[in-house]
């Protein structure tokens, strides 16, 4: 029941923010809006799918058979895409995949292995960013005329750029120490927070806490400067 109520509240929040996104987006036409979001799709699908696959793969390597039993030990997007998180990433700039279920009782060193599983998703997003930056650099170095002055080339370059940006968003957003994000799971293992009486209450109300932080703009306060700084460094490297 808790998960169902959390999903309904999250859907309502997304609907409200989607309306605001479209009305304040500054698009000249619906066509411009549609083209931009179509170009985003590869980055969103790759980012969400491989993020969750990273969790599943590391948990499996740590001895947990749960991800494989549930069909999550695959990069196939159909196994990992959460509809609400997918829509959220398209319209709001942050999102999530279907959480990978794990059983930490299979781990040899629970705190260490849970920390590794927590960081695996964002590590996968970082790998995607690095690969995408390398691809973009090769494109701009060996085919600047095609990728900067022709419509097909510009579209391909924009897809790669969105792949960079979206995976940066996924990486930074998921590192926030707010339940149920990976950052909270990571700090839980590092500082052994489960020993405190307040941990269960905070963790099991995580969705509501996250919604509150998003609604009040606290997440944007952290995300915006961090993403601007990282994307600025990447752009300078690409333009060298």
Where does residue 142 rank: exposed (0-12), middle (13-18), buried (19+ CB within 10 A)?
exposed
Separation between Cα atoms, residue 92 and residue 103, nearest integer Å: 32
The pLDDT of residue 103: 97
> Which of 142, 178, 162 shows the shortest CA–CA distance to 234?
162
- The SS3 of residue 177 is coil
Separation between Cα atoms, residue 202 and residue 212, nearest integer Å: 13
pTM of the full structure: 0.87
Q: Please, are residues 67 and 25 in contact by the beta-carbon 8 Å criterion? A: no
What tokens were used for 187?
A: 């700090």
Residues in the chain with pLDDT < 70? 1-30, 93-94
Domain extents for the chain?
A: 2-238
The pLDDT of residue 23: 59
> Mean pLDDT of all residues in the chain?
88
Separation between Cα atoms, residue 137 and residue 125, nearest integer Å: 18
The pLDDT of residue 2: 43
Q: Please, are residues 122 and 175 in contact by the beta-carbon 8 Å criterion? A: yes
Query: What radius of gyration, in Å, describes the C-alpha atoms of the chain?
Result: 19
What count of residues does the chain have? 240
The pLDDT of residue 217: 81
Separation between Cα atoms, residue 184 and residue 11, nearest integer Å: 22
């Amino acid at each position: 029941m808790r998960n169902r109520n959390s999903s309904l509240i999250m859907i309502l929040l997304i609907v409200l923010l989607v309306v605001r996104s479209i009305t304040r987006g500054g698009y000249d036409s619906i066509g411009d809006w549609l083209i931009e979001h179509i170009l985003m799709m590869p980055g969103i699908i790759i980012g969400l799918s491989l993020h969750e696959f990273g969790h599943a793969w590391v948990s499996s390597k740590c001895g947990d058979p749960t991800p494989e039993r549930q069909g999550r030990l695959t990069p196939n997007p159909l196994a990992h895409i959460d509809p609400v998180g997918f829509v959220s990433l398209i319209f709001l700039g942050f999102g999530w995949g279907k959480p990978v279920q794990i059983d930490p009782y299979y781990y040899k060193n629970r705190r260490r292995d849970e920390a590794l599983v927590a960081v695996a998703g964002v590590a996968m997003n970082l790998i995607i960013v690095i690969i995408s930056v390398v691809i973009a650099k090769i494109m701009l170095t060996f085919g600047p005329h095609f990728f900067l002055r022709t419509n097909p080339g510009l579209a391909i370059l924009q897809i790669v750029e969105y792949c960079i940006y979206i995976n940066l968003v996924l990486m930074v957003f998921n590192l926030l120490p707010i339940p149920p994000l990976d950052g909270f799971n990571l700090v839980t293992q590092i500082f052994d927070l489960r020993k405190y009486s307040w941990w269960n209450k905070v963790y099991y109300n995580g969705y509501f806490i996250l919604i509150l932080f998003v609604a009040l703009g606290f997440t944007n306060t952290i995300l915006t400067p961090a993403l601007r700084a990282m994307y600025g460094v990447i752009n300078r490297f690409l333009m060298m």
